[in-house]
Structure 1
Amino acid sequence: MKIKEIIVVEGRDDTVAIHRAVEADTIETNGSAVSRSTLEKIKHAQEKRGVIIFTDPDYPGERIRKKVSEYVQGCKHAFLHKKDALPKHGRGIGVEHATPEAIREALSEAYLVNEVLPEVITKEDLMDAGLIGGPKAKERREKLGEKLRIGYTNGKQLHKRLMMFEISKEEFRQALMGILQEENNA
């Protein structure tokens, strides 16, 4: 599988994992302190071939994703499930631990983000669903992010992420029903 866009990853181990899964070029951010020159390189890549941001499903990865997408408009986003990013042995979480199959799946489902969208799911919907505030909110947001393949967010960012990825009320409702059903069966 050959990828036209250039994939933005966090480091060298991520690049190695990408190359095991697909034929693609990468740009490494070398951690969450993304330099101005790296951002310029990513911007140039976006203008020439397009960019897919594919960072680890953790807080530093989300910080990098946000920083790059604010600086470079029109990037696609690929998300890896947390369970697919865990090492077989040891600690940590990241793209470098994912199987080639999981990487190919995440890249095949890369989203193009539209920054300005009409509100479909309201903040009240999120509160009513127990996704903001409450004892199970964090766990539910994590599960929702996995089901909808939009990554984990905190309470403040969830609404924006749902809008960015144009999640319909029906998609939201179906995912939430699945989460609530899992909770009832546990």
Structure 2
Amino acid sequence: MFSPTNTVISGLMQCGDVDGARRVFDGMVFRDVVTWNSMISGYIRNDMIGEAVQVFDGMPLKDVVSWNLVVGGLVKYGEFGLAEEYFKKMSIRDCASWTIMISVFGNAGRIVQARELFDDMPVRDVQAWNAMIVGYIENGYVEIAEGLFQKMPERDFESWTQMVAGLVGAKELMMP
């Protein structure tokens, strides 16, 4: 929903005026989910993940965007365990929610858990496939990544780039 006040909050956060945005937020009589999400996003943008989580935890109603913002923010700042906790609490997830956690597990070398999430996804988009392929490649499972790549229903530029880079990297490792 468009609200001039939400626009002001977003603008202040983009300019780094976190205190000004907070004053506007605190002065609002009615705050919709977009207002809360603007604060969460702004805090994350301004390297204030603790404040973002506090605002999120204080939200009366959360949507999937709210959850994705906080989980993505926690991942961005290396709070992987906390990100996983929040992911598990999510009542509704979209492709982005699942893909964030697939990437987290892949980056952490927890490829089995990444694959379990990938397999549990009700619907997979190209980004989810790419995240799983990257996870395999980064963990040295290039052949499995190649097999998954072959099964992809659609591929984009990133899919091809990651697969080619993985194959080239594997070939370089095998060369004397």
Normalising by the smaller structure, the TM-score range is: 0.3 to 0.5
Name which one, 1 or 2, has greater alpha-carbon Rg: 2
- Which structure shows the higher strand fraction? 1
Give the TM-score normalised by structure 2: 0.37
- Which structure shows the higher helix fraction? 2
Structure with higher RCO (Cα < 8 A, 6+ apart): 1
